[in-house]
Amino acid sequence: MIETWLKETVTSPYDLRRKIIPDGTASVTGALMELCDNARADLILTTGGTGPAPRDQTPEAMQSVLEKELPGFGELMRRVSLEQAPTAILSRQTAGVRGKSLIVNLPGRPASIELCLNAVFPAIPYCLDLIGADRIETDPAKLKAHRPRAETRISNFNTKRFQDNERSFRTRTHGDH
Amino acid sequence: MIETWLKETVTSPYDLRRKIIPDGTASVTGALMELCDNARADLILTTGGTGPAPRDQTPEAMQSVLEKELPGFGELMRRVSLEQAPTAILSRQTAGVRGKSLIVNLPGRPASIELCLNAVFPAIPYCLDLIGADRIETDPAKLKAHRPRAETRISNFNTKRFQDNERSFRTRTHGDH
Amino acid sequence: MIETWLKETVTSPYDLRRKIIPDGTASVTGALMELCDNARADLILTTGGTGPAPRDQTPEAMQSVLEKELPGFGELMRRVSLEQAPTAILSRQTAGVRGKSLIVNLPGRPASIELCLNAVFPAIPYCLDLIGADRIETDPAKLKAHRPRAETRISNFNTKRFQDNERSFRTRTHGDH
């Protein structure tokens, strides 16, 4: 689902890995830190685990992992999901930055995932620019990435980085970035 | 006001208690913990004390009491209240879970209380299911509770619990739950 | 920009100071505390520094400085800014109270500043009343300040206070307040 959406949307080359993490604050925290600090993923998309049930611990892990929380992601994802179901307010999904990685919590239900991706992804390429992650391009026919004009000149000379991460998504470093 | 609204909306049997708490973080914290941990209320609705004035301390108490905050409640209540008055953004109301209790902060002004209840209550029965509280039913002519289909099968076998709480609202445990 | 907007909007007399603070949590924290605790500014409007980039540290300073956060300000400013650009969700702007000072983070881009001021300012005069800051009046032709009727009688007898603050905005204390 997420992979198909990315394949249709992101036109710059990227490596995509997928990882299944058992429920629990420690396991999710560990996996996220590994992806950010060792694998140096540019973008990490999680799915599920954001509800109010005892097993839902993704937000607790996010609190340990994030250096900067970006509350606008969760606000917008809940707002668009509310058009589908009033229970959208039960989601504690958020997003934020750790080092040069952006982590975004997506909902667990497939119908809501696409809705949320369409809502927040237009801001993601510029966010990756700002935090020093790799530059990505999207297919404008599918989704228009917004880069405010005055700041698109920020240069982005990331050195090539190895990665062995899963459940993450990162662009390959190319000379034209 | 709240009681009348509940009487018209909730069709499953419940015990309703009311409690007036003096302003102050310690008093509100103590009352909320007592309602959650001893009285084992399923749902606690507070009213007032969420503004920016020095006497408004409900959110400070919530920070001590909640195990999981559900920011979507406050976001939605502020959004619908904004249609009535621009000062809705001054409200710090939130909601969240402690154990098997859901706590929701309602505003203090009667005109806003009904607006907020109508906005967030459709998500409350399912939230109570998810946290292991008692199951409640609503009159669909008044308010349609939303339970996503795939997850309505979660069983709910709460043992009967005593309660001596006030300002709270809980369903009676019946065999048909 | 902000000064022009205030001049056109606020009709009660005020002293306005402007201050440029270098990026960094410590510098912004120090400047905000000085403005609140020593200069006793009624209203502090910051601009910029709320994004996800490493240099953006205003929200970190806010976390140290605020006694009460008012999340509705950031929610509404992000929501109205989203109508201009999808990257509005990258803003971590917030607002809150320290002592008798209200601090509001505005975005850094001029086009967004006016949008945000128009959105949240209608709630600011009443907020200042509630926290014991000086009373301000606005030109109703430009912007209607909302004061819920039942609570407009709150008296406001602030003693005259000296100030040497900049980047802040406060009313002069007059006998008719």
Tell which A residues from 74 to 113 touch C, by Cβ distance under 8 Å: 75-76, 79, 97, 102
The alpha carbon of residue B165 is apart from the nearest alpha carbon of chain C, in Å, by 29
- ipTM of the assembly? 0.85
Task: Kindly give the parts of chain A with pLDDT less than 70.
Answer: 150-177
pLDDT, position B150? 54
Q: Please count the CA atoms within 13 angstroms of the CA of B33 that sit on its side-chain side.
A: 10
Query: Does some domain include residue A177?
Result: no
Nearest neighbour of C89 by CB, restricted to A72, A97, A132? A72
Q: Provide the whole-model pTM.
A: 0.86
Query: Does some domain include residue A27?
Result: yes
Tell which C residues from 6 to 65 touch B, by Cβ distance under 8 Å: none
**Amino acid letter at C74?**
G
Q: How far lies A3's CA from each of A16, A78, A103, C163, in Å?
A: 8, 22, 16, 57
A36, A63, A68, A78: best to mutate for the C interface, most C CBs within 10 A: A68
Query: Does some domain include residue A113?
Result: yes
At residue B145, what are phi and psi to the nearest 5 degrees? -75, 135
pLDDT, position C150? 55
pLDDT, position A174? 37
**Cβ–Cβ of A92/B68 closer than 8 Å?**
yes
* Range of the structural domain that residue A134 is part of: 2-171
Set of chain A residues whose Cβ sits within 8 Å of the Cβ of C83 = none
pLDDT, position B110? 87
Q: Please count the CA atoms within 13 angstroms of the CA of C26 that sit on its side-chain side.
A: 0
Query: Does some domain include residue B176?
Result: no
The alpha carbon of residue B97 is apart from the nearest alpha carbon of chain A, in Å, by 7
Closest Cα in chain A to C72: A75
Nearest neighbour of C90 by CB, restricted to A70, A79, A150? A70
**Cβ–Cβ of B78/C72 closer than 8 Å?**
yes
B/e letters for C30-51, b = 16+ CB within 10 Å, e = fewer, are ebbbbbbeebbbbbbbbbbbbb
Set of chain A residues whose Cβ sits within 8 Å of the Cβ of B68 = 52, 56, 59, 92
Query: Does some domain include residue C149?
Result: yes
Nearest neighbour of C70 by CB, restricted to B54, B75, B92? B92
Query: In terms of Cα–Cα distance, which of C89, A61, C14 is closest to C3?
Result: C14
- Number of other CB atoms surrounding residue C105 within 10 Å: 26
pLDDT, position A150? 54
B/e letters for C69-84, b = 16+ CB within 10 Å, e = fewer, are bbbbbbbbbbbebbee
pLDDT tens for chain C, 177 residues: list them. 899 999 999 999 999 999 999 989 999 999 999 999 999 999 999 999 999 999 999 999 999 999 999 999 999 999 999 999 999 999 999 999 999 999 999 999 888 999 999 999 999 999 999 999 999 999 999 999 999 975 444 433 333 333 333 334 443 333 333
CATH of residue B89? 3.40.980.10
Could you give the CA distance from residue B157 to residue B177 in angstroms, rounded to a whole number?
7
pLDDT, position A7? 97
Query: Does some domain include residue C176?
Result: no
Set of chain C residues whose Cβ sits within 8 Å of the Cβ of A69 = 92
Set of chain A residues whose Cβ sits within 8 Å of the Cβ of C57 = none
pLDDT tens per residue across span B64-73 = 999 999 999 9
Total of domains in chain B: 1
**Cβ–Cβ of C88/A75 closer than 8 Å?**
no
Query: Does some domain include residue C141?
Result: yes
Closest Cα in chain C to A123: C87
B78, B89, B94: best to mutate for the C interface, most C CBs within 10 A: B89
**Cβ–Cβ of C130/B53 closer than 8 Å?**
yes
Closest Cα in chain C to A130: C53
pLDDT, position B146? 96
A83, A90, A94: best to mutate for the B interface, most B CBs within 10 A: A90
**Cβ–Cβ of C131/B52 closer than 8 Å?**
yes
Task: Kindly give the parts of chain B with pLDDT less than 70.
Answer: 150-177
